[in-house]
Amino acid sequence: MKFQISKYKTIFYFFSLFFNYILNAESAKIVSGPILGYSTLKEVLVWVQTDQKSNVKLEYSEIGNSKNKLFSEEIQTKSEQGFIAKLIANQVEPGKKYNYNILIDGEKIPAKHSQVFQTQPFFAYASNEDPPSFSFALGSCSYINEPEFEVPGKTYGGEYFIFNSILSKKPNFMLWLGDNIYLREPDWDSRTGFFHRYRQQRGIPELAPLFASVHHYAIWDDHDFGPNDADSSYWMRETSEEMFKLHWGNPNYAKEGIYGSFIWGDVQFFF
């Protein structure tokens, strides 16, 4: 009798673990992204955010050679970092385009739209050849409505079709020039508030295709930083800087502030 009870307990425990695993696997999903960050000749960053602790990996292949699957290192998303993963594709060659997918806990997440990144073409400054041409988009003041936290009357946000219009021009990359999010009163006093605003801002479907196939670089303005016209006296400035660096895929940052630089073709950009 004791043997049977012990056996039943073992079976029950096994099935409890099994169903708990299944439930967790089903609930692990992407809540923001994928978003393309910087692109170089030999490396590309892809940003993604999950809804819980997960093991995340990038799968990619050069367009026209889909059988040769390449993978990034696996990253485990963590609560203290908002379940964000910055995945690095470092088995790439200059001047190529790659299809990519996100794997969460070993499962490929179906793409809802095109997911393509590019590496920059090689250009020798000492040669007599013309540098490669490129195009980029500029944008700022992206206000996404959240009805429960809006002031009475007409809201600032709307007409989100502009993001599809930008995508239709097929820029190589986009520069976000500040006020890329608009922190509200419930946001700027806590890390939870910052995480919420970035996640809400990036949750609209119109942004997803642009994020997934155009590379993005960013600076900030007062509404990314804190309250309206906030300055160095803002009490959450260190958290604000941390949140900005966590949510964007710029290639480098200064020790303090968000200063940085990148090169595209024969042009160097300074933040």
Segment 9-57, tens digit of pLDDT: 544 444 444 445 554 556 678 999 999 999 999 999 999 999 999 999 9
How confident is the model at residue 4, as a pLDDT? 54
Q: Does residue 140 contact residue 132 with C-beta atoms inside 8 Å?
A: no
Angle at 120 between CA 117 and CA 121, to 5 degrees: 130
Identify the architecture of domain 32-123+131-270 in CATH: Sandwich (2.60)
Secondary structure (DSSP) of 138-176? EE-------GGGSPSSS-S---TTHHHHHHHT--SEEEE
Q: In this model, does residue 238 exceed pLDDT 70? A: yes
| Between 149 and 99, the higher pLDDT residue | 99
Reported as a pLDDT band with limits 50, 70 and 90, residue 148 is confident
In this prediction, residues 228-254 reach a mean pLDDT of 95
How confident is the model at residue 110, as a pLDDT? 93
How confident is the model at residue 6, as a pLDDT? 52
Domain boundaries, the chain: 32-123+131-270
Only one residue has tokens 């029950």, namely: 12
Rounded CA separation 209/220 (Å): 22
- 123-135 confidence digits (pLDDT tens): 877 677 888 899 9
